[in-house]
Amino acid sequence: MADPLLLDLVKTAKSYGINVGFLTSPHERDIWLEGFRTTLTLVATMIPVSLAAGMALAAALTARQRWLALPARVFVELTRNTPTLVQLSCAFLGLNMLISQSLGGAGQNPFGAFFWVVLVVGLHGAAYHAEALRAGIEAVPDTTLEAARALGFNRLEILRWVELPLALRIALPTIVNNLVTLVKLTTVGSAVAVGEITYASIMIWTQRDNVVELMVVILVFFSAINLVVSQIGLWLERRLAVPGLGVRS
Amino acid sequence: MAAVAAVAALWAALQPDLAVILIGWVPYLAQGFAMNILISVAAIAIGSLIGLILGVMELAPARWIRAPAITYVHIFRNAPHLVLIFATTYAMPFEITLLGGTVAFPDWLKAVVGLAIPASAHIAEIVRGAIQSIPTAQWESAGSLGFSRLRTLRWIILPQCLRRTLPAWMNLYASIAMGSALASLVGVGELLHAATDASTAVRRTDFTIAVYLTVLVSFFAYCYPISRLTQRLERRFAV
């Protein structure tokens, strides 16, 4: 039985012309709440995936070996110049189907829609991070690298201890911007029936005809996530700021 | 590009029957792609016009002009494109009564509106940034020559902004062009939707993969030249 307080709330909202009647149906309410959880889970898994893959890609992009740099460049250009939804279709309807067939039936396939969304959108973000980090790596002064070489660092050690830490600081504002885009891109999950907030809302509004109400909630929800992401970004920027560089605020 | 063509030719030689089926579907797919181009061009045109007005409004001295523009830009720059497309599709009527007659309001036009909204918000920020990058002295000298605020904007400031905003505008154009694929999710017959139709009609694994790769390559062929041109312009305009 629904909470009397909730019923009261729904009734008050209705008197103002706001249709949130779905809250009294436990089934629809569960879909909706699950939608919030799924979106947050997507965001929480995608951000680390994109950052890790982005660093690896940036390292490959700036590598002196052509067999490493060229495929990374092709991947980055392909990812940045094609729609995420088309990439997701290729991966989910193409690659996933091939895997299912070679394993003998969809039941044997360990990868679900959630996995493909995280992989495709995560790598999409990674391509953008990689470009930002590459620009950062190239911005590290030659004298700094010479100093590191003089201290006996090898190429990989220079990347790990000198170039990446500096590149990360230079690229951080762009990376945070990319993460905001990434958060918005989680919505493509609805195309392959991952029950995130957009998908859940569609399920409800096709029954209840309350598009505007639910859309306002979605927009506020995404604004809130992105506010948190950009605040963490700002905090990190201040934390990691190199003393003696830039403008003090 | 040559490498892609070579791979495609090799593949067609190895799988002639599949290539024949795919070629048979090309007109249908091309029709879909024309829809993508139509949606993206219309969305960027409407978005640019509204964005220009909003960008100028954001810098207005009067608060009651500035505040609504800033709020609009803030809300819709943070909104996922897909959510806006869904919202316009479901919330807008399928026909509009105008001057006594009814005009159909098809889904593709709703997708245009859904993409024009975030486009206008992004363009507003691009325009605002460009106007602010013009030295203040130019406003003052135009004022001393007897130009009003709006005339200064129209004849002195905005022409200079055009060059500065071009790379950012083209980036946005590519992003909107890619966003047009989202219209497939609300049933607009664009390229991705056409590919899904083809794959359900043919029902062959290799065809499904080939057709989706065709979609991927088509979008790449559309967006990659834009991004290369943007990079070249950025380098040329760099100070």
Domains of chain A and any CATH numbers: 4-240 (1.10.3720.10)
Q: Is B97 helix (H, G, I), strand (E, B) or coil?
A: strand
For residue B84, is pLDDT > 80? Answer: yes
Show residues of chain B in contact with A181, CB under 8 Å: none
Residue B1 lies inside a defined structural domain of this protein: no
As given in the structure block, the two tokens for residue A156 are: 């990989």
CB atoms B87 and A90 under 8 Å: no
| H-type alpha helices, A90-210 | 96-103, 113-139, 142-150, 155-158, 164-185, 197-208
CB-based contact B214:B25 (threshold 8 Å): no
Nearest-CB residue to A85 (from B78, B192, B227) = B192
Which residue of A lies nearest to B206 if distances are taken between CA atoms? A94
In angstroms, the CA A80 to CA B178 distance is 10
Which residue of A lies nearest to B179 if distances are taken between CA atoms? A83
In angstroms, the CA B166 to CA A132 distance is 21
For residue B7, is pLDDT > 80? Answer: no
A117-126, A140-149, A236-245, B53-62: which has the minimum mean pLDDT? A236-245
As given in the structure block, the two tokens for residue B95 are: 């026909």
Number of domains in chain B: 1
Residue B181 lies inside a defined structural domain of this protein: yes
Q: To which residue do tokens 């709006």 refer?
A: B150
Q: Report the gap between the CA of A39 and the closest CA in chain B (Å).
A: 13
Residue B172 lies inside a defined structural domain of this protein: yes
Phi, psi angles (nearest 5°) of residue B102: -105, 135
Print the domain residue range for B144.
17-237
Whether the CB of B43 is below 8 Å from some CB of chain A: the reply is no
Q: What is the structure's pLDDT at B236?
A: 83
In angstroms, the CA B144 to CA B165 distance is 27
In angstroms, the CA B232 to CA B160 distance is 19
For A119-131, how does the pLDDT look when each residue is reduced to its tens digit (9 = 90+)? 999 999 999 999 9
Q: Is A164 helix (H, G, I), strand (E, B) or coil?
A: helix
Q: Which of B182, B35, B188, B192 is nearest to B118 (CA)?
A: B182
| Domain of residue B222, CATH code | 1.10.3720.10
User: Any idea what DSSP says for residue B102?
Assistant: E
CB-based contact A131:A76 (threshold 8 Å): yes
CB atoms A187 and B80 under 8 Å: yes
Residue B11 lies inside a defined structural domain of this protein: no
Residue B90 lies inside a defined structural domain of this protein: yes
Q: What is the structure's pLDDT at B55?
A: 94
Show residues of chain B in contact with A78, CB under 8 Å: 216, 220
Write down the ipTM of this complex.
Answer: 0.86
CB atoms A86 and B219 under 8 Å: yes
In angstroms, the CA A201 to CA A32 distance is 7
Residue B134 lies inside a defined structural domain of this protein: yes
Residue B3 lies inside a defined structural domain of this protein: no
**What mean pLDDT do residues B103-113 have?**
89
CB atoms B219 and A97 under 8 Å: no
For B174-211, how does the pLDDT look when each residue is reduced to its tens digit (9 = 90+)? 999 999 999 999 989 999 999 999 999 988 888 888 89
Residue B132 lies inside a defined structural domain of this protein: yes
User: Any idea what DSSP says for residue A107?
Assistant: G
CB-based contact B89:B109 (threshold 8 Å): no
Q: Report the gap between the CA of B100 and the closest CA in chain A (Å).
A: 27
Q: In the structure, how many helices (H) and strands (E) does chain B have?
A: 10, 2
For A165-210, how does the pLDDT look when each residue is reduced to its tens digit (9 = 90+)? 888 888 898 999 999 999 999 999 999 989 899 999 988 988 888 8
Q: To which residue do tokens 């590009």 refer?
A: B1
Whether the CB of B152 is below 8 Å from some CB of chain A: the reply is no
Q: Calculate the CA B199 to chain-centre distance.
A: 27
Q: Report the gap between the CA of B189 and the closest CA in chain A (Å).
A: 15
